[in-house]
């Protein structure tokens, strides 16, 4: 019996048992892309309005000290969905669009866990964790042999990677959605297909957005991408419709499962590049396309909440809203994001952005709303890490996880639900160059590394790298300006020991 059949039988059995007891809460996990700590009005943003998210925060808990495990998407999402730190594996860096599935079917995920607890499960939106069995070997014109269905998601409607990476089509239940037999799809991350234009050679075809760095390979919808692609025809997405499309699929999934418990992983494309929101969200704020993408994200959140409300299931639905990593302003397209900031600080009070070992890389918003059980209007300053979502949600359902699964996840359910403010002892963070940092109590520690101080391949972002240990007092120095490592050798020693312990986990895995 394969895993798909086994889990269905398990889910069926658990569902019958659940009906007798208190109804299980639905769980909607909203993970924005590159949305910074300072990008929401309820986290201090002034230049952009986010009424739907503000309302969530008013009706639930707004966390002020939550951390993604990594400063980019693939390792961050890998950690969140598996409860295993991404650095345990060497193959969890930002994945190309033709990566094979990184989480293998044998690995137990948050979706497997929810499904075994009797939930209908779905992944909708950005995936970025690979598809199919082998990198570069996918046949995009046939059902993919490995997909989110093999790791616990009953339903998926996803982009293979990111909207700036080919293939620019949605995958639904293992196959290209709206597949166009007249335009078979070919993808390569090594070389272009004969006669196909590229952003580098045919800039006159970049009618919707021009690149500022990278993103000069295949052109889809007048926008240059990473990677080469041929075909697609009617299946190619239109960037201005991506938010509508994934939001509609999420709302439909909710509607189909309104009378049974469901777990929805709703991973928005907003506010990742290329930022190309629908016309109706444009020009409503002074920050240009990046601000418009935030407005569009807020609209998606509002649509999800509206669906839950109109089905009468919002009270017993836990909505968790967070982001996969910190913000980035210029991430490779000439969308004027930098010049239009107008004083807006995407990372709020933190130094550094996406990719960085500074807090701006991994400090993210997190909001939890569950009217049936969670008191509204709370703020929690407890140190939290997304790695703990898996075992915390498991605890909610008294889930029994197979031995060895979610090895790094801890049950922090009572903090997540605002019953107490017990923090995580330490929250580890991995930068784009795999430098490890630790938050613990008031301290932030960054291990020494040899890399340079600035990213050299495009974004104007500080890496946080330094050849010496860095220690910051986050209470008095939230912006990580004064390295006090020399004054606190004991703390530095302890924190480096912890980092060594964490890094050793990767060699343990290799044995």
Q: Does 331 bind ligand NG6 (CB under 6 A)?
A: yes
What gap in Å lies between CA 343 and CA 3, rounded to an integer? Answer: 51
Select the span of 71-79, 83-91, 118-126, 296-304 touching Ca ion (CB under 5 A): 71-79
- Of 33 and 65, which has the nearer Cβ to Ca ion? 33
Which residues within the stretch 61-100 sit at the binding site for ligand NG6 (CB under 6 A)? Answer: 72-73, 94
* 462 touches Ca ion (CB under 5 A): no
Cβ proximity to Ca ion: between 74 and 415 the closer is: 74
Q: Is 431 in the site for Ca ion (CB under 5 A)?
A: no
Rounded to whole angstroms, how far apart are CA atoms 327 and 35?
5
Which residue has 């809203």 as its token pair? 321
Asked if residues 261 and 236 have their Cβ atoms less than 8 Å apart, the reply is no
Among 34, 65, 330, 359, the residue binding Ca ion under the rule CB under 5 A is: 34
Using the rule CB under 5 A, give the single segment among 29-37, 176-184, 404-412, 477-485 that binds Ca ion: 29-37
Q: What is the dihedral of CA 109, 114, 117, 118, to 10 degrees?
A: -130
Work out how close the CB of 290 gets to Ca ion at its nearest, in angstroms, rounded to a whole number: 14
Buried-exposed string 4-41: b where 16+ CB fall within 10 A, e elsewhere: eeebeeebeebbeebeeeeebbbbbbbbbbbbbbbbbb
Residue 418: what are its φ and ψ, rounded to 5°? 75, 15
Question: Using an 8 Å Cβ cutoff, are 110 and 389 in contact?
Answer: yes
Helix axes 288-310, 51-58, angle to 10 degrees: 50
Q: Which is nearer to Ca ion, 245 or 325 (CB)?
A: 325
Q: Which is nearer to ligand NG6, 40 or 271 (CB)?
A: 271
User: Residues near 24 by Cβ (< 8 Å), separated by ≥ 6?
Assistant: 18, 117, 118, 119, 261, 397
Binding flags for ligand NG6, 118-147, as an x/- string (CB under 6 A)? ----------x-------------------
**CA distance readout (Å), 28 to 116, 250, 306:** 17, 10, 13
Tell whether residue 356 is a contact of Ca ion (CB under 5 A): no
CB-nearer residue toward ligand NG6: 7 or 362: 362
- Tokens 């359902």 correspond to 397
Contact 337, 288 (CB under 8 A): yes
Identify whether the C-beta of residue 450 lies closer than 8 Å to the C-beta of residue 433: no
Per CB under 6 A, does 210 bind ligand NG6? no
> What is the torsional sign of CA 383, 386, 387, 388?
positive
Q: Is 67 helix (H, G, I), strand (E, B) or coil?
A: strand
Please tell me whether residue 226 binds ligand NG6 under the rule CB under 6 A.
yes
Residues forming beta bridges with residue 380, ordered by sequence position: 63
Tokens read off for 326: 């910190």
Q: 164 is in the binding site of which of Ca ion, ligand NG6, none (Cβ under 5 to 8 A by kind)?
A: ligand NG6
Q: Which stretch binds ligand NG6 (CB under 6 A): 213-221, 227-235, 240-248, 388-396?
A: 213-221
- Min. distance of Cβ 420 from ligand NG6 in angstroms? 33
Options 50-58, 172-180, 211-219, 364-372: segment touching ligand NG6 (CB under 6 A): 211-219
Annotate 163-204 with three-state secondary structure: CCECCCEEEECCEECCCCCCCCCEEECCCCCCCCCECCCCHH
Q: How many residues bind ligand NG6 (CB under 6 A)?
A: 18
Residue nearest to ligand NG6 (CB): 214
26, 29, 31, 34: residue in contact with ligand NG6 (rule CB under 6 A): 34
429 makes contact with ligand NG6 (CB under 6 A): no
Q: Are 11 and 323 in contact (CB under 8 A)?
A: no
Could you tell me the smallest distance in angstroms from the CB atom of residue 293 to Ca ion?
13
Does 272 bind ligand NG6 (CB under 6 A)? Our answer is yes
Among 59, 66, 73, 392, binds Ca ion (CB under 5 A): 73
Cβ proximity to ligand NG6, 223 vs 485, nearer residue? 223
**According to CB under 6 A, which one of 302, 407, 458, 479 is a site residue for ligand NG6?**
458
Q: What angle do CA 320, 75, 2 make, to 5 degrees?
A: 80
Question: Of residues 4, 104, 213, 373, which one binds ligand NG6 by CB under 6 A?
Answer: 213
Distance of CA 13 to the CA centre of its chain: 31
> Does 285 contact ligand NG6 by CB under 6 A?
no
Instruction: Show the binding pattern over residues 290-329: x = contacts Ca ion (CB under 5 A), - = does not.
Output: ----------------------------------xx----
The span from the CA of 257 to the CA of 253, in Å, is 6
Does 392 bind Ca ion (CB under 5 A)? Our answer is no
Smallest CA-to-CA distance from 393 within 31, 28, 92 is with: 28
Interface ranges with ligand NG6 (CB under 6 A) = 33-34, 72-73, 94, 128, 162, 164, 213-215, 226, 272-273, 325, 331-332, 458
Judged by the rule CB under 5 A, the positions of this chain that interact with Ca ion are: 33-34, 73, 324-325
């Amino acid at each position: 019996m394969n895993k798909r059949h086994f889990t269905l039988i398990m889910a069926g059995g658990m569902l019958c048992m659940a009906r007798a007891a208190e109804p299980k809460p639905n769980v909607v996990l909203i993970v924005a892309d590159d949305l910074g700590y300072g990008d929401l009005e309820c986290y201090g943003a002034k230049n952009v309005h986010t009424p739907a998210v503000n309302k969530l925060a008013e009706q639930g808990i707004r966390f002020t000290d939550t951390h993604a495990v990594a400063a980019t998407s693939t390792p961050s999402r890998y950690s969140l969905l598996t409860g295993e730190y991404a650095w345990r594996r060497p193959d969890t860096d930002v994945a190309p669009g033709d990566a094979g599935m990184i989480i293998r079917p044998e690995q137990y995920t948050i979706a497997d866990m929810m499904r075994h607890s009797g939930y209908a499960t779905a992944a909708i939106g950005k995936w970025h964790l690979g598809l199919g069995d082998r990198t570069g070997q996918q046949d995009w014109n046939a059902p993919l042999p490995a997909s989110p269905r093999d790791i616990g998601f009953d339903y998926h409607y996803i982009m293979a990677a990111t909207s700036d990476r080919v293939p620019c089509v949605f995958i639904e239940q293992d196959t290209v959605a709206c597949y166009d037999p007249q335009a078979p799809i070919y993808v390569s991350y090594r070389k272009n297909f004969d006669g196909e234009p590229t952003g580098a050679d045919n800039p006159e075809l970049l009618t919707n957005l021009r690149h500022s760095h990278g993103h000069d390979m295949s052109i889809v919808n007048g926008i240059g991408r990473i990677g080469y692609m041929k075909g697609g025809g009617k299946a190619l997405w239109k960037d201005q419709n991506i938010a509508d499309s994934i939001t509609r699929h999420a709302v439909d999934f909710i509607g189909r499962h309104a009378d049974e418990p469901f777990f929805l992983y709703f991973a928005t494309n907003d506010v990742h590049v290329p930022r190309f929101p629908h016309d109706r969200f444009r020009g409503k704020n002074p920050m240009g396309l990046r601000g418009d993408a935030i407005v569009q994200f807020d609209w998606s959140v509002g649509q999800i909440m509206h669906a839950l409300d109109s089905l009468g299931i919002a009270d017993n639905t836990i909505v968790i809203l967070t982001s996969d990593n910190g913000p980035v302003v210029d991430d490779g397209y000439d969308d004027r994001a930098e010049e239009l900031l107008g004083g807006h600080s995407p990372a709020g009070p933190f130094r550094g952005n996406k990719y960085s070992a500074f807090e701006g890389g991994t400090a993210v918003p997190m909001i939890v709303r569950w009217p049936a059980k969670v008191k509204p209007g709370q703020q929690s300053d407890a140190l939290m890490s997304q790695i703990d979502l898996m075992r915390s949600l498991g605890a909610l359902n008294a889930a029994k996880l197979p031995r060895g699964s979610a090895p790094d996840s801890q049950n922090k359910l009572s903090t997540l639900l605002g019953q107490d403010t017990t923090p995580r002892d330490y929250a580890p963070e991995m930068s784009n160059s795999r430098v490890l940092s630790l938050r613990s109590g008031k301290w932030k520690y960054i291990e020494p590394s040899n890399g340079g101080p600035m990213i050299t391949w495009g974004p104007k972002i500080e890496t946080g790298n330094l050849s010496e240990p860095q220690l910051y007092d986050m209470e008095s120095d939230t912006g990580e300006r004064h390295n006090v490592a020399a004054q606190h050798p004991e703390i530095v020693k302890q924190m480096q020991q912890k980092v060594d312990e964490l890094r050793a986990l990767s060699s343990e895995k290799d044995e």
